[in-house]
Amino acid sequence: MITVKNGVFTITTANTSYVMHVREGKYIENMHYGRRITPYIDPDANGLIDPSAVIADEQTERALEEKYTNPYGNSVAAAGNNWCVTLDDMCLEMSNPGTGDYRSLPLVIEGPDGCMSTRFYYKDSLLYEGLYSEKERTGMPYAHGASNGTDRPWTLELIFEDVYEGERGKGLELRVIYTAFEDCDVITKRMVLINDTDVTYTIRDISSMMLDMQGRDYSVVTFDGLWTRERHIHTKKLESGIYETGSTNGTSSNFHNPFMMVIKDKATEDHGGCYGFNLIYSGNHRERIEVSEYGKTRILCGLNPFGLAYPLAPGDRFYTPEAMLTYSHKGMNGVSHNCHRFITDHVIPPYFRGRKRPVLINNWEATYFDFNRRKLINLAKVAAGLGVELFVLDDGWFGDRSNDTKALGDWFVNEEKLGGSLDSLVKAIKNEGLDFGIWIEPEMISEKSQLYEAHPDWAVKVAGKEIYTGRNQMILDYTRADVRDYIVDVICKLLGSADISYIKWDMNRPVTDAYSAGETVPGAFYHDYVLGLYDVMKRVTSAYPHVLFEGCSAGGNRFDLGILAYMPQIWTSDDTDPNERMYIQGGTSYGYPPSTMGAHVSASPNHQTLRETSLETRFNVAAMGVLGYELDLTRLSLIDRKIISKQISFYKENRDLLQNGMFSRVYESDNNTIWQVTDERKEHAIALLYKRTAEPNQSYDILYAADLDEDALYRVRVRNIKVKVKTFGNLINQISPVYIKEDGIVQALIGKAYAMDGETEEYTVSGATLMYAGIRLAGRFIGTGLNEGTRVMGDYSSRLYSIDKIVH
């Protein structure tokens, strides 16, 4: 709900309030954003407070507004009166260069005379049901109403006008736009700049949102990394001065994800006030937090000003990406729950909301570029027998693409390699019982390609300057309409040529020389590239709304809300080592739900880290996302096939829970991590217990749970796993009637056909017991004692526990 009353603007969601008012007729002061507050009520009404009432009464307003009584030393006074206030010490919704607010500013534009001072003062407001992006074509993805159509969000526009008394007269307008997504405690904000003057302005810096908060006792939590180690969590105490993060490589990047949290100092996973911020955007972004000496904290999120000099001609509008804000008093898990719900209900394409995602086999790590029709069909045959549902043909099926030095852009099928047309291959795979999906990298062009020969000016480069490639390739200039039309046509033709139900859309290198041979000027390149990308994605996905697109960018280099608005899942990382995935998926989970994270079981030793892990652990970790397999299934031993087949059955039985359940990070110690997904009715949950390294002589682990009904009874059962004979090395001879040489033929033969059953363990306890005391699980193998009850838990080991309510 949003209300505008007596100059007070109140945005109310289920558990939060965002309150602003007009001050001195021209400024908008932020009075509160955080846990929901209730208004003052007339004492005649028995002092009762109506929680649904809005904060528009004078008493509450008087209590919340900042008090200024003394002029401050050498500070600058707000213009036009003898007021004691300096804008440098006010929580504002909009602030201008040249007005004495020396903190980081949300908007810096340059006039034709080079002047950068502005006077955007509040003029008016507009309140309506619906979304700004429904009335204006912004060219960018946006948060939509709930897919069932019942929940129409409300939008508030605060209109600021640049008060300019010179020759140019008025005509510059700034709108700060708020939409309330009440169900998930999210408010979105964005700024729109409108140039109705007759001169061109240059945008130097423009944020989507600015939030000023009282106090300075906060920490910032960011998710940073690199290729194969994306989104690791980092927490930093905010101190006086500026903290800044973001990306400048043309993508939202694996360096610093646009999702961040600002948490009160004592907040934990489950308690305390936490704010979450994100951007519905896939390009350069910047998050800036300034802790002022007046004891206030300013947060800015939006485009990165790096390389930005965006011309805004007369009659033009500049739309910033939509920023997401959320608050929870229930700690970081509370923020995650809000973000997860917001993404599934308001960001991903509504068609895919809650829709089951197929278990897939991807041939990349199974074959790399070295495949032919026979190999692919054999892989599909085995995969189908194990329960896999979708076959994904990765890189190497087109043009002369036998390695990664060439052919990107030549999107015609290499029929020689595929042993026939794509359609015939798809039919053969479908004949094995699998759906078919295919990889493309449509934003790229190889120097060695027919496309580059025909259109060298379609590549992003500065003519005459040495070219810097990444993975031997260049970027296609999506700022150009002719390039975009060409690519849309190519992808639509590909999709029309065979029965394809899934596309993996890759993007393997970042931008370097931001320069177009077309019309886009360099200062507009980064943003226009992203707008071009959205244009292509929108045209393709709306032509094929039921095709499942999975975003990818060298793994998780572009894991953001902009991509998710077109593609409901993203390849989380090229790193499939489960131990690394615990960091990567764990970090990602703070801002994004399991249904967005592609997670595959791959070979051991792992191809990225050479770490050896058990097949069961690889599955247990991948099961906390959208499951796939990415290894040569045709070479599996008999026992591994049995194991995988059981894994897939378990996943399918629990797919809805694993993909769409509420995800919580339940417990974390040096060695053990517990995550849990729970259904809405709290009737079923699955917990993952992961152990990084084995601890000697510490015999049992404790399983804690979360999000259950305290008073209900739950049955807790471990998912039965297989333990390989090899795990025991030569210790096996302590129980074997015949001597088994380690790494010898007998061990190999036994290992291929046989594995021991892991422990069976079952408990029936109340939700409260599970959540507040935890189950002390059966003893672990610690060098002595081994029987059916022993939990064999070495390094990188794990278990999944099903937790089911006993309904009488």
| Residue 482 designated active-site | no
Q: How far is the CB of 572 from ligand GLA (least distance, A)?
A: 10
| 107 CB neighbour count, 10 Å cutoff | 25
Number of residues in contact with ligand GLA under rule CB under 6 A: 12
Stretch binding ligand GLA (CB under 6 A), from 133-141, 171-179, 550-558, 707-715: 550-558
- Residue 711's SS3 state is coil
| 132 binds ligand GLA, rule: CB under 6 A | no
End-to-end CA distance of the chain: 40
Closer CB to ligand GLA, 212 or 575, in the complex: 575
Q: For ligand GLA, which stretch binds (CB under 6 A), given 65-73, 109-117, 547-555, 603-611? A: 547-555
Q: Which stretch binds ligand GLA (CB under 6 A): 481-489, 552-560, 689-697, 773-781?
A: 552-560
Q: Which single residue is written with the structure tokens 């798809």?
A: 426
Give 39 or 437: the residue with its C-beta nearer to ligand GLA: 437
Taking the complex as a whole, the smallest distance from the CB of residue 805 to ligand GLA amounts, in Å, to 39
User: CB of 471: closest distance to ligand GLA in angstroms?
Assistant: 8
Q: Which residue is nearest to ligand GLA (CB)?
A: 395
CB within 8 A of 247, min separation 6: which ones? 253, 255, 256, 258, 284, 285, 304
Quick one: 209 exposed, middle or buried, by C-beta within 10 A (0-12, 13-18, 19+)?
Answer: buried
CA distances from 42 to 32, 57, 64, 283 (A): 22, 10, 17, 50
Residue of 89, 395, 574, 575 marked catalytic? 574
- 552 makes contact with ligand GLA (CB under 6 A): yes
Span 135-174, contacts to ligand GLA by CB under 6 A: none
Q: Applying CB under 6 A, which part among 21-29, 102-110, 239-247, 548-556 lies near ligand GLA?
A: 548-556
Touching ligand GLA, residues 465-484 (CB under 6 A): none
Q: Which residues of 77-88 are buried (b: 16+ CB within 10 A; e: fewer)?
A: bbeeeeeebbbb
Please report, for residues 26, 56, 125, the alpha-carbon distance to residue 4 in angstroms, rounded to integers and kept in the order given.
Answer: 16, 8, 8
Find the shortest distance in angstroms from Cβ 775 to ligand GLA.
Answer: 38
Here's the x/- map for ligand GLA, 399-418, by CB under 6 A: it reads as -----x--------------
Query: What is the CA angle 320-290-231, rounded to 5?
Result: 70
Which of 202, 297, 508, 660 binds ligand GLA (CB under 6 A)? It is: 508
Q: How far is the CB of 27 from ligand GLA (least distance, A)?
A: 48
Task: Convert 40-51 into a string of H (helix), E (strand) and C (coil).
Answer: CCCHHHCCCCCC
395 touching ligand GLA, by CB under 6 A: yes
Catalytic residue chosen out of the listed positions 185, 212, 435, 506: 506
Nearer to ligand GLA, 269 or 574 (CB): 574
State residue 381 phi and psi, 5-degree precision: -60, -50
Q: Using CB under 6 A, which of 364, 505, 714, 801 touches ligand GLA?
A: 364
The sheet carrying 713-718 orders its strands as 662-668, 672-678, 684-691, 797-805, 713-718, 762-766
- Extract long-range pairs of 61-65: CB within 8 Å, 24+ residues apart: 61/6, 61/8, 61/21, 61/31, 64/19, 64/31, 64/32, 65/21, 65/23, 65/29, 65/31
Question: Does 555 participate in binding ligand GLA (rule CB under 6 A)?
Answer: yes
- Secondary structure letter of residue 346 according to DSSP: I
Smallest separation (angstroms) from ligand GLA to the CB of 715: 39
Is the Cβ of residue 437 or residue 586 nearer to ligand GLA in the bound state? Answer: 437
User: Residues 182, 230, 513, 574: which binds ligand GLA (CB under 6 A)?
Assistant: 574
Which region among 210-218, 478-486, 551-559, 683-691 touches ligand GLA (by CB under 6 A)? 551-559
Q: Which residues contact 265 (CB under 8 A, 6 or more apart)?
A: 217, 218, 219, 237
How near is the Cβ of 285 to ligand GLA at its closest, in Å?
Answer: 21
Shortest Å distance, C-beta 472 to ligand GLA: 11
- 251: contact with ligand GLA by CB under 6 A: no
* 87 in contact with ligand GLA (CB under 6 A): no
SS3 assignment, position 477: coil
Does 439 bind ligand GLA (CB under 6 A)? Our answer is: yes
**506 an active-site residue?**
yes
Q: Which residues contact 610 (CB under 8 A, 6 or more apart)?
A: none
What does the alpha-carbon distance between residue 788 and residue 786 come to, in Å, rounded to a whole number?
A: 7
Quote the CA–CA distance of 375 and 425 in Å, as a whole number.
Answer: 12
Nearer to ligand GLA, 629 or 650 (CB): 629
Residue choice 88, 269, 410, 506 for contact with ligand GLA (CB under 6 A): 506
Q: What is the rounded CA–CA span in Å between residue 288 and residue 258?
A: 11
Q: Is the peptide bond before 605 cis (omega within 30 degrees of 0)?
A: yes
Binding site for ligand GLA (CB under 6 A): 364, 394-395, 404, 439, 506, 508, 552, 554-555, 571, 574
Residues known to be catalytic: 506, 574
